[in-house]
Amino acid sequence: MRAPVLPVLLRRRRAAGVEPSRFHWRDLIAESTAGLLQRPARAALTALGTVLGVGSFVAVLGLTATAASQIDGRFSELSATEVSVQDVSSEYTEFENLAFPDDADQRIERLNGVQHGGVLWTVQLGKGQQVRSAPVAGSAAGTQIQVVAASAGALDAAGPSVSQGAVFNRWHDATRQRVAVIGTGMAAKLGITTLETHPAVFIGDQAFTVIGIVDDVRRKADLLLSVIVPRSTAQQIWGPPKDGAEMLVSTRIGAAQQVALEAPVALRPDHPEYLRAVPPPDPRTLRSGVSGDLGQLFLVLAAVCLFIGAVGIANTTLVAVMERTGEIGLRRALGARGRHILGQFLAESAVLGTLGGLVGTSLGVLAVVGVAMTREWTPVIQPTTVMAAPVIGLVTGLLAGLYPAWRASRIQPVEALRR
Over the stretch 138-167, which tens digit does the pLDDT of each residue have? 444 444 788 999 999 999 999 999 999 999
* Residue 265 and residue 310 share a domain: no
* Residue 210 and residue 352 share a domain: no
Please determine, for residue 256, whether its predicted confidence score (pLDDT) is greater than 50: yes
* Residue 295 and residue 255 share a domain: no
Has residue 340 been placed in a domain?
A: yes
Which residue has better confidence, 291 or 214?
Answer: 214
Q: How far apart are CA 104 and CA 327, in angstroms?
A: 90
- pLDDT at residue 92, rounded to an integer: 85
- pLDDT at residue 209, rounded to an integer: 93
* Residue 302 and residue 259 share a domain: no
Which residue has better confidence, 397 or 298?
Answer: 397
Please determine, for residue 30, whether its predicted confidence score (pLDDT) is greater than 50: yes
3-state secondary structure of 214: strand
Please determine, for residue 359, whether its predicted confidence score (pLDDT) is greater than 50: yes
- pLDDT at residue 4, rounded to an integer: 46
Over residues 287-298, the mean pLDDT reads 61
Has residue 2 been placed in a domain?
A: no
Give the chain's mean pLDDT: 78
* Residue 310 and residue 242 share a domain: no
* Residue 316 and residue 401 share a domain: yes
* Residue 239 and residue 127 share a domain: yes
Q: How far apart are CA 418 and CA 330, in angstroms?
A: 11
What are the Cα distances from residue 298, in Å, to 142, 281, 325?
Answer: 47, 26, 41
137-141, 372-376, 380-384: the lowest-pLDDT one = 137-141
| Domain with 298 in it | 24-73+285-418
- pLDDT at residue 404, rounded to an integer: 75
Residue pair 266/101 in contact (Cβ under 8 Å)? The answer is: no
Has residue 277 been placed in a domain?
A: no
Please determine, for residue 384, whether its predicted confidence score (pLDDT) is greater than 50: yes
- pLDDT at residue 313, rounded to an integer: 67
Examine the fold and report which residue of 239, 270, 301 is the final residue of a domain before the chain moves on: 270
At residue 1 the predicted structure's pLDDT band, cuts being 50, 70 and 90, is very low
Residue pair 108/277 in contact (Cβ under 8 Å)? The answer is: no
H helix count then E strand count, the chain: 14, 11
* Residue 140 and residue 34 share a domain: no
Has residue 5 been placed in a domain?
A: no
Q: For residue range 300-339, what is the model confidence (pLDDT) as tens digits? A: 766 776 677 677 667 766 776 676 676 677 776 666 677 7
Has residue 17 been placed in a domain?
A: no
- pLDDT at residue 409, rounded to an integer: 73
When divided into structural domains, the chain yields a total of 2
* Residue 170 and residue 105 share a domain: yes
Please determine, for residue 210, whether its predicted confidence score (pLDDT) is greater than 80: yes
Has residue 14 been placed in a domain?
A: no
φ, ψ at 116 (rounded to 5°): -145, 155
* Residue 247 and residue 332 share a domain: no
* Residue 240 and residue 137 share a domain: yes
31-40, 379-388, 404-413: the lowest-pLDDT one = 31-40
* Residue 120 and residue 42 share a domain: no
Examine the fold and report which residue of 245, 270, 295 is the final residue of a domain before the chain moves on: 270
At residue 278 the predicted structure's pLDDT band, cuts being 50, 70 and 90, is confident
39-53, 186-200, 340-354: the lowest-pLDDT one = 39-53
- pLDDT at residue 2, rounded to an integer: 43
Over residues 346-354, the mean pLDDT reads 80
Examine the fold and report which residue of 218, 245, 270 is the final residue of a domain before the chain moves on: 270
Please determine, for residue 111, whether its predicted confidence score (pLDDT) is greater than 60: yes
Has residue 230 been placed in a domain?
A: yes
Over residues 357-363, the mean pLDDT reads 87
Has residue 12 been placed in a domain?
A: no
